[in-house]
Structure 1
Amino acid sequence: MKDSQEYKTKKAFFEKVITLYGRNVVVEVLQDTNIEVHKLHLAKSNKPDGSIKKIMTLAQKRGLEITYHEKSALSRISKNAKQDQGVAIDIIAKSYAHAREIQKLSRYRLIALDGIHNPQNLGMIIRSCAAGNVDGIILPKKNSAKISPLVVKASAGTLFKLPIYFCDTLQDVLHEEDDADIYTLSLEAKESIYNVKEAKKTIYVLGNESEGVSSEIVKLSSKSIIIPMNREVESLNVAVTASLIAFMKS
């Protein structure tokens, strides 16, 4: 039954499971003993040499059981038949949590992402936020880049160092956080980001790479703000914008 404690516990566990794929990524994951592995999957068709041999050796050292699949079944696990290279790994991301956990925080400084599709941008945003003065990232599952090998690479090893709060849609979260100050970054805004006086709970929303923040999200925000720019430069890459926010003094 969905209301049982067993079901809720199981659901909470699998919400933290992220599947990555690709031989180099899996080798890197297995070499990092700080990353907890749930399951390792290999296609039966893989030849046990080169990187596959290395994966098998690393798994043995860590005492991990390898599950073997037909290539078609492995592709259903990776959800990327063209790039999985016959390898997938389920990891337990302890920093990956449902956005409902935000309500338990008495104060926070968060960056929310609205329609960020480029995985490299997502990875760089995660890296900047992990290094800077940000308490977490809100990442919707719909209309957004997913955690993938490209994101892992772009984050340069910082993916699991910062809380990432997932949700179905950003609207759901912002409706719940009605006591937070919500700022959307917009090229049409008049007020400078440097004039913001942050409250105990502050959320900055960064929009799609080409279209910006959606009108639905703008309606839920407290105010739209802009990063002033010189020499008639029109805009900045969203990852650069995230960096500027991350290193602002709160």
Structure 2
Amino acid sequence: MSLNDGDFVFGRHSGIDFLKTQSADRINKVFLQTGVANDFAGQVYALAKKKRLVVQEVPKHKLDHLANGGNHQGLVLAVSSFEYADFDQLLDQLDQKEEPFLLMLDSIEDPHNLGSILRSADATGVDGIIIPKRRASGLTSVVAKTSTGAIDHVPVARVNNLVQTSQLLKDRGYWLFGTDMQGTDYRRWNAKGKTVLVIGNEGKGISPLLKKQMDQTLTLPMVGHVQSLNASVATGILLYQMLNSRNPLS
């Protein structure tokens, strides 16, 4: 198997074997060279379809770059070197806790932000993080380095649809809180009980359909000229408010 520092598997034998034997959570993207033989392309598409993976056809020079000059033979997989938690198993485990706390990230794209969020999550006792499988950073070597070891202690589960996942969580008794410019001052947030904090994309915030699932929205007051904070900084502030709410000083 050819796995370089950029978290890529390339080559027809290695790529096909990885598609056959590894779970969909280990595969972030499938890149297929435009114009490859129909039988090979058909095999790749068939295996990807079984795992609900999207195949992106790209020119040869793109694969040359991804494989760093390696013999990719028309196929490159962007993969995760780190195992994800099984979402259903995670929820079953948290049913044993009195006040589980989950963090849901709506399409955080910057791996440095994800790594920093993992650090804050570990520091404040977050029980698990939920991220989408598409259009978001996964667990990569950059995330691991930025997290300074937190990646090994905070379970991260990937799901297909955050809206459906939110509905499932509400059915299981969780309260959902999201960030919004017009929300309640975060200092008034009571984070006790079965709670999910939802953090939006760096530029777009929480998607409209997901925002409709929120039980309450929270805002961070801004008194300066800049009216937004880095996603990881905002998450850290809110997580420490959660910790303060659940563990008030006597």
- Runs (4+) of structure 1 moved beyond 3 Å? 13-19
Which residue does the alignment assign to 1:185?
179
Aligned match for 1:173, one of 154, 158, 165: 165
Deviation track 1:36-85 (CA, whole Å, cap 9, x = no partner) reads xxxxxxxxxxxxxxxxxxxxxxxxxxxxxxxxxx7316962446xxxxxx
Residues in 2 aligned to 1:149 and 1:135: alpha-carbon distance in whole angstroms: 22
Which residue does the alignment assign to 1:129?
121
Q: Taking structure 1 as reference, are residues 244 and 173 closer, same or farther at Cα in structure 2, changes over 3 Å only?
A: same
Which residue does the alignment assign to 2:71?
71
Q: In 2, are the aligned partners of 1:133 and 1:247 still within 8 Å (CA)?
A: no
Runs of 5+ consecutive residues of structure 1 not aligned to the other structure: 1-10, 20-69, 80-89
Which residue does the alignment assign to 2:33?
none
Which residue does the alignment assign to 2:204?
211
Which residue does the alignment assign to 1:97?
85
Aligned residues: 177
Q: In 1, are the aligned partners of 2:82 and 2:139 still within 8 Å (CA)?
A: no
Residues in 2 aligned to 1:204 and 1:226: alpha-carbon distance in whole angstroms: 12
TM-score (norm 2): 0.63
Computed over aligned residues only, the root mean square deviation of the Cα atoms, in angstroms, reads 2.7
Letter of the aligned partner of 1:97 in structure 2?
A
Which residue does the alignment assign to 1:236?
229
TM-score (norm 1): 0.63
Residues in 1 aligned to 2:155 and 2:119: alpha-carbon distance in whole angstroms: 12
Q: In 1, are the aligned partners of 2:176 and 2:215 still within 8 Å (CA)?
A: yes
Q: Taking structure 1 as reference, are residues 91 and 199 closer, same or farther at Cα in structure 2, changes over 3 Å only?
A: same
Residues in 2 aligned to 1:130 and 1:77: alpha-carbon distance in whole angstroms: 30
Q: In 1, are the aligned partners of 2:101 and 2:194 still within 8 Å (CA)?
A: yes
Q: Taking structure 1 as reference, are residues 78 and 185 closer, same or farther at Cα in structure 2, changes over 3 Å only?
A: closer
Deviation, 1:198, is 2.2
Q: In 2, are the aligned partners of 1:142 and 1:169 still within 8 Å (CA)?
A: no
Residues in 2 aligned to 1:131 and 1:15: alpha-carbon distance in whole angstroms: 29
Deviation track 1:72-130 (CA, whole Å, cap 9, x = no partner) reads 16962446xxxxxxxxxx7563xx21222343223311111002111111111111111
